[in-house]
Amino acid sequence: MRVLVTGAAGFIGYHLCINLIKNGIDVIGYDNFNQYYDVTLKNKRSQLLNEYANKMGKKFYLLKADLRDFETLCSFLNSHPVSHIVNLAAQAGVRYSLENPMAYIDSNIAGFLNVLEVARSLNIEHLIYASSSSVYGGNTNMPFSESDPVDHPLSLYAATKRSNELMAHSYSHLFGIPTTGLRFFTVYGPWGRPDMALFLFTKSILQNSRISVYNYGKMERDFTYVDDIVESILRLLPKPPAPCVKDDLITPNPSASWAPFRIFNIGNGQPVSLLRYLRAIENELGMTACIDLLPIQPGDVPATASDSSALSQWISFTPSTSIEHGVKNFVAWYKGYYK
C-alpha cells in the first residue's frame, strides 16, 4: 500500500501521515499551504513529518502545490505512484464561506474533480475523502443517520461537501472507483486549526480576552477526537466498499449504492454543549472564561449528533475518546507549543 494524502500538512492530515508512517506505509503528501490560517503551523507539521519519517527509516514526500493544478498533480503521481488516496484537502470553515465563496468552489469542487480524475487514470484501489456533518443542514432528527435526506444545506461549505459525495458516486458508477466518504463531526485535538472553538477558547482564556458563545450557549456538538478519526481511516483503507445488490436498494439510501460507494458518519456519538466544552478547558487551564452569550450565526446548525453504528459494524471500531481526555491533551500541546 502506498497512500497519497492531500492536505497532508493540515490538522487531520498531519496526524494521519504520522500514523501511516508508524505503521510502515509509504506516504505521499500534497498540500498548498494556503493562508487561511497561520501557515507557520503547517510548516512545523511538515518539518515534524519529515523528521519522523527519517527516524522511522521511511521515505516521505510532500509537494507544495494546489489540487487545481492538474498537470502538476498528474506529473507528481507519475513519478510517485500510489495505490490509495485519502483526500483531506479542502477549504474549511462555515463562516468564511460567507466572505469568500469562490475559495470553496475552487478547492472543494474543482480540486476534488482533479482528485477523482487521477483516481480514475491510476486505477486507485480505494479513494477515501472528507465530507462533513454540515451536510445534514436543516435536519432536526437526531442522531444524524447516513440514510437521512441531506437536501437542505445551511452554508455553501456544506453544499460543496454534499457535492463531493455526489461527484464521488458518479465516478464510482461510471468507472468502478471504490470511494468512501466520511462525514466528520467536529474534529479536535493537538495541532488543531486556530479557527476552531477549542483553539480560540484556550487562547482567549489565557489572554483574559472575552469569548463569544453563540446561540446563547445552547449549541451542541458531537466533538470527535482526532486519534479516533485517524484510527477509523487506517481501518478503512484496506476495506473498500463493495456494490450493494440492486434488489437491496428498492428504498433509496444516500449512503450506499449498486456502485462501489459508501458514506459513513464518523463521530463520538455523545454530543455535549459548548458550555460544557468550555468548562473542560477552564478546568485544564485552572482559569475562568469571560463569556458573551450571543445569537446563533448565519450558516450554523444548533446541534449535531452522530449515529456511527454503520462505521462501527464495518471496521469494528467506535470513536469514544471523552471530552475531558481530548481537551487535556490539546491544552498540554498548546501550552508546550506556545510556551
As its CATH architecture, domain 2-192+223-270+306-320 has 3-Layer(aba) Sandwich (3.40)
Pairwise CA distance, residues 163 & 169, whole Å: 10
Read off the pLDDT band of 215 (50, 70, 90). Answer: confident
Contact 220, 6 (CB under 8 A): no
Mean pLDDT of the chain: 93
Q: Could you tell me the CA-to-CA distances from 178 to 8, 116, 318 in Å, in that order?
A: 21, 11, 23
pLDDT at 115 over 90: yes
Q: What is the pLDDT of residues 292-323, one digit of tens each?
A: 999 988 878 888 999 999 999 999 999 999 99
pLDDT of residue 111: 96
Sorted by where each begins, the domain ranges of the chain are: 2-192+223-270+306-320
Top-confidence range, 94-98, 216-220, 291-295, 298-302 = 291-295
Among 56-60, 141-145, 244-248, name the one with the lowest average pLDDT: 244-248
Per-residue pLDDT band for 251 (boundaries 50, 70, 90) equals low
Residue 4, strand partner residues: 28, 85
The top-scoring range by mean pLDDT among 35-39, 236-240, 251-255 is 236-240
3-state secondary structure of 87: strand
Q: Please name the residues in contact with 163: beta carbons below 8 A apart, sequence gap of 6 or more.
A: 108, 109
Out of 157, 171, 188, 277, pick the active-site residue. Answer: 157
CA distances from 218 to 132, 189, 235 (A): 21, 22, 35
Higher pLDDT among residues 243 and 9, named by residue: 9
Closest CA to 61 of 121, 116, 105, 2: 2
157 part of the active site: yes
Selection from 243, 89, 209 nearest residue 160 by Cα: 89
% of the chain exceeding 90 in pLDDT? 81
CA distances from 273 to 78, 249, 266 (A): 47, 37, 19
Model's pTM, two decimal places? 0.94
- Which contiguous run of DSSP H or E holds residue 188? strand 187-188
Mean pLDDT (whole number) for 263-271: 94
